[in-house]
Structure 1
Amino acid sequence: MELRLLVTFEKVAAVLSFTRAAAELKYAQSSVTGQIRSLESSLGVELFERLGSRIRLTEAGERLLPYARRIIELNEEARAAVAGPDEPAGTIAVGTMESLTSYRLPPLLELFHHRYPKVRLTLRPTLGDETRQALLQGTYDLGFLMERETEHPGLEVEVLAKEPLVLVAAPGHPLAGRAGLTDADVAGATLVGPEPGCAYRDGFEGALAGLGPQFMEFGTIEASKRAVASGLGLALLPRITVSEELASGALAALDWAAPFTLFTQIAWRRGKQLPEHVRLFVEQTRRLLREQASPRG
């Protein structure tokens, strides 16, 4: 089996779309289809069931997938070993989320862009459950999580920092400046947040359960901040995402503390041998995020 065919097979299996796999691999769709047919012909089995516009793995495809991923990982390890420690190289698929990508990771991405140009980072925006599943399936090499729990079945996890949360409002909101807000005070206001599945949105909703909280859902943190600044409601967000607005006075922090704690974490599949360039990414992530979270930062 050619490595090139296994790489294409793994990509199609990960995204379950010939069109999307072709775009990510920068092939013509006909090339992807042809490569899968070549692999199926060499093995004498069908790897995908074609269901109209959808596809899914056959039993043979399910059995092949973990072997394909192991072969691809070994190839990456071999390339990294040959390149040597002074010239790390390889690709890293990273599951992440907006609050980290936009507000914590830019220094890390800049570092790798300038200092390690042969390491290619692919950032995939996903929330906790989807990130964990992709790590277990081998679709992602690494994943960033922002969760209350710090242990996840099948994953190696390293806690990088405690992630402070803050309830914010427009400076002119009726609750701004009031001391000792209760859960009922908060639940009685219109609440702004991202979609369910985000750890701080789910925790916020859970903390006010039984009080009938009403949420207006916005797709991004930036959209949520603009909605809050315009007076539409309150939002519970990671402090790092609103630090500039709090400093400038565009938003006000309210006197209410979330009854739960979130931790920013980096994770990978348990038992996975991390290639040198992936270990380097973990080390630099650990250093930079802990510097950000230190009192000096």
Structure 2
Amino acid sequence: MDIRQLATFHKVATLLSFTRAAVELKYAQSSVTAHVKALEESLEVNLFDRLGGRVELTDAGRRLLPYAEQMLALAGEARGAALGSEEPAGVLTVGSMESITSYRMPPLLEFFHHRHPALQIVLRPSLCAETCHALRQGMFDMGFLMEAETQHPGVQTEVLGSEPLTVVAAPDHPLTRAEKVTTDDLRATQVISAEAGCAYRELFEAELNDGTGESLPFLEFGTIESIKRGVAAGLGISLLPSVTVADSLESGTLVTLPWTIPFEVHTQIAWRRGKTLSREMRVFIDQTIKFLSEEYARRP
């Protein structure tokens, strides 16, 4: 086994695709297949199950993955030490929700672009449960979570801040005339939401369904921007992170409904518990805590 084979294995295991791994590594697909086959032959095990168009890690592949990560991280540090370079370099794959990627991370990404140009941050759209799974499987180096819970099996987290939430409606929505909006009021109106699996959507849905004995229909829109447009058009109300609606509230295209939100979610940076942190991961974690903790302190 050699480092190049391990790097190819790691990329295929991360993407679960030989084709996409070849594109990202800038190899011919036949080269990716050859690297993995050579590694399998040297270890005398199958690392992937190829089921039609799908690729999955075998039990042996899952056991190898954390060791491959450690060896690749050490190889990177050894290369930097040999070259006398202390500059973080390489690729970090980070799972993140749309609200964090679009509204919280730009200053952080700008910092890495200018300060550490040799370090490439690859963002993968992912909901919280998917991110935790990907971290445990070694498919992501790091991830961002927005959940009520701050303890996750097999995952280490650092809380960056409590994420303020706001219920919004169009300015002419009937509920905007109420001095106080109750949960029963919200149950009687159309709700526009993100897709199932979004933590704050699930908390909101549970609150509205509590005691009713029935599941209330939510109108699902694909992105936060499409949700905001739907709300502004009068199609319903929505619960969203306050940072995502700040501009719309300031411009008057949306207004806040006076409903007391009975739950709280926390934005967290996460990585696999027990994982050996590379220099690049430590830099990313430290700078994320610095930038985003200050951002949350300023609100929203």
TM (normalized to structure 1)? 0.93
* Structure-1 residue corresponding to 2:17: 17
The one-letter amino acid of 1:34's match is A
The correspondence of residues 240-259 of structure 1 with structure 2, limited to 5 A, is: 240-259=243-262
8 A Cα contact 1:183 1:208, kept in partner: yes
Secondary structure of the equivalent of 1:74?
helix
- 1:187–1:84: structure 2 CA closer, same or farther, 3 Å change rule? farther
Report the equivalent of 1:167.
167
Per-residue CA deviations over 1:215-237 (Å, capped at 9, x if unaligned) read 10011111101110111000000
Q: Partners in 2 of 1:270 and 1:19 — Cα distance?
A: 30
- Is 1:224 the counterpart of 2:210 in the alignment? no
CA separation in 1, counterparts of 2:255 and 2:264? 21
Q: Which amino acid aligns with 2:204?
A: F
Query: How many pairs does the alignment contain?
Result: 297
Residue 287 of structure 1 aligns to which amino acid in structure 2? Answer: K
Q: For residues 235-274 of structure 1, what are the structure 2 equivalents within 5 Å? A: 235-274=238-277
Task: Provide the rounded CA distance (Å) in 1 between the counterparts of 2:252 and 2:66.
Answer: 52
What is residue 194 of structure 2 aligned with on the other side?
Answer: 194
Give 3-state SS (helix, strand or coil) of 1:46's partner. Answer: coil
Q: Which amino acid aligns with 2:75?
A: N
Deviates more, 1:262-271 or 1:164-173: 262-271
Q: CA–CA distance in 1 between the matches of 2:85 and 2:219?
A: 50
Percent identity between the two aligned chains: 56
Query: Structure 1 residues 51 and 108 mapped into 2: Cα distance closer, same or farther (>3 Å)?
Result: same
How many angstroms apart in 1 are the aligned matches of 2:132 and 2:37? Answer: 31
Question: Is the contact between residue 157 and residue 268 of structure 1 (CA under 8 Å) also seen in structure 2?
Answer: yes
Deviations 1:235-288 (A, max 9, x none): 000000000000110100001122100111111122223222221211211111
Taking structure 2 as the reference length, the TM-score comes to 0.92
Change (3 A) 1:263 1:171: same
Unmatched segments (≥5 aa) in structure 2: none
Match of 1:54 in 2: 54
CA separation of 1:96 and 1:260: change in aligned 2, threshold 3 A: same
Q: CA RMSD in A?
A: 2.0
Query: Cα gap change, 1:255/1:59 in structure 2, threshold over 3 Å: closer, same or farther?
Result: closer
Look up the SS of the partner of 1:175 in the other structure. helix
**1:91–1:38: structure 2 CA closer, same or farther, 3 Å change rule?**
same
Partner of 1:176: 176
Contact 2:112 2:119 in 1 (8 A): yes
Does the 8 Å contact 1:9/1:36 carry over to 2? yes
- 3-state SS of the aligned residue for 2:176? coil
Q: What do the CA deviations read for 1:96-123 (whole angstroms, capped 9, x no partner)?
A: 1100000000000011101110111111
Q: CA deviation at 1:172?
A: 0.8
